[in-house]
Structure 1
């Protein structure tokens, strides 16, 4: 072979190598990562059993309260009641906690709120407060006072998740920073105190991802400001055991003298019926070996516009729903 041909061959080989090209068996696509081991016994780190100072909504001495958010077909009084009633009928039990979402200007005390409370359920209000610096400038004092009075008028204990998932990167434009969020939290809580809204348990609820990244703890207002610690955790983009997904949070929360509520949890339909059922079975074990977890609330919703890795509704998936039903009928979740 001539020198010119040898150089040409070497050049072609170099280009193929840089492009990641190869021949034969090496041309096959790499194998997918192995499925997570959901049979291994979950680790336990949050083992405090209490009693805890949890504010007006008391943590059970043993076991954990069960609740859910169920997306209604229509965001009306009738729609909200129908959604909750349908899930309760399918499960054969009532929800102890009803999670409900409110924009900053939406008040607690709607007809459906009153109906759920009359039935003996506890409301967990996920309240999307606005720009933290705007709050601190006093621009929303009247609105905050109105909400405080509305919650006070319920005359029953209410769990309040003030701007849950505050650590999400896409909220940074309104959260600004951890210190800004903490200052706004204290500002809002002081207004509630002035309005004698003493029936609120304050729930601090970041994301499991925020603890994996390491930035969520910087938003914590302090043990003297928080009644329940909380986390939202999903097997969505990452199909891993729930103990792995929320492990950094549990390690952190185990050092706090607070009960834990799983504010939202869910497993995406993308992982298949058998995978979802196995994930839920593992979640049940994980909750029970971490007795500091005193409440769990499932996210029974398929948010519009999301792909299959962010669709979490269990209704309509018999194998997964059967496992979910078995979990919530466990006496541990009926304290």
Structure 2
């Protein structure tokens, strides 16, 4: 009997030890290996019909949004000039944001165009259903005339990131957005604003969730496909973050512009530099990507996971500098 009890006691001890091991906390996941080559994605090789803003046959154009100290003519020029001086090259694309009622063709717009840059206008149009009700026809016609008047090819991102959940109150649905897109484009055609390349630009997260494709207006309506992709809340290789978008875009005969990309300061200088190095390799591995634009800004009120300015971060800026000086990004 004593031997039986001893054996039972040993089993209980073993089982309790095993149970305790099962309850141990798992080790935190290892950071992603950003030194590995980017995963290949089947992409179209081109050439691509891209509207008035022509996609380079080889390589990709480089641009940026640079937040100025003041949203004035002088402030905008100074911000772009400062970054260009630090990079030792001119930007091929200057991204600029406009509210619905703000017209294209400001003095700084004209100055950038005179220097040979292409404007990428990120236009925050309003409520899609009010657009379809005709409430903003006069404003839309005014913008079409303003863009026509500058007589230079323009990349127009009509309500970029339309798939964001926090915009659903004004976007309503994918069907509403598509109808509004076609409505606005028809007005531009009526006003003979033929110098516009229409850029459809959702978020990388929208493709991860799966709802972004529902906002696509159609191949006959879009000149460039686009995606905004950030290592903000999630520090993953850029190829993983925008992989679902790239697989979707490969089915369409359109060039791609990375409308905004950035890596947050929260990930540290070394991490940011590694992410940017990997981004450069990923862009070059996907020849459908014909333009990229960094988001050089620390938006006010955002936490550390949404601060993306590279200036002042020596290691990260050095990595970006190497990227933009690569001959591939100077087609």
User: Is the shorter-chain TM-score for this pair beyond 0.5, marking a shared fold?
Assistant: yes
Mind listing any 5+ residue stretches in structure 1 that lack a counterpart?
1-21
Distance in 1, Cα, partners of 2:21 & 2:169: 51
Q: CA deviation at 1:149?
A: 0.2
Contact 1:97 1:297 in 2 (8 A): yes
CA–CA distance in 2 between the matches of 1:322 and 1:220?
Answer: 37
Distance 2:68 2:20 in 1: 54
In structure 2, the residue corresponding to 1:303 is in which secondary structure? coil
Within the alignment, does 1:130 sit opposite 2:126 as a pair?
yes
Find 1:331's aligned residue among 302, 327, 331: 327
Return the TM-score normalized by structure 2.
0.93
Does the CA-based 8 Å contact 1:46-1:291 persist in structure 2?
A: no
For 1:181, which of 177, 183, 195 is the aligned residue? Answer: 177
2:68 is matched with 72
1:49-198 to structure 2, matched below 5 A, reads: 49-198=45-194
Q: TM-score, normalization: structure 1?
A: 0.91
Q: Supply the distance in 2 between the matched residues of 1:182 and 1:91 (Cα, whole angstroms).
A: 39
Asked if 1:211 is matched to 2:202, the reply is: no
Q: How many residues align?
A: 313
**Structure 2 residue matching 1:36: 3-state secondary structure:** coil
Gaps of 5+ in 2: 1-18
1:235-254 alignment, distance < 5 Å: 235-254=231-250
Deviations 1:95-154 (A, max 9, x none): 000000000000000010000000000000000000000000000000000000000001
CA distance in 1, matches of 2:131, 2:142: 14
Shift of 1:33: 1.9
Q: What is the DSSP-based 3-state SS (H/G/I as helix, E as strand, rest coil) of the residue aligned with 2:111? A: helix
| TM-fit CA distance, 1:31 | 3.2
RMSD: 1.4
Q: Which moved more, 1:32-41 or 1:261-270?
A: 32-41
Cα drift, residue 39 of structure 1: 1.4
Q: 1:279 aligns with which of 275, 279, 289?
A: 275
Q: Distance in 1 between matches of 2:108 and 2:197?
A: 20
Contact 1:74/1:80, CA 8 A, preserved across alignment: yes
Moved over 6 A (4+): 22-27
Shift in Å, 1:40:
1.4
Correspondent of 1:45 among 41, 55, 59: 41
Alignment partner of 2:271: what SS? helix
Query: SS where residue 59 of structure 2 aligns?
Result: coil
Provide the rounded CA distance (Å) in 2 between the counterparts of 1:48 and 1:271. 33
Aligned counterpart for 2:220 among listed residues 216, 219, 224: 224
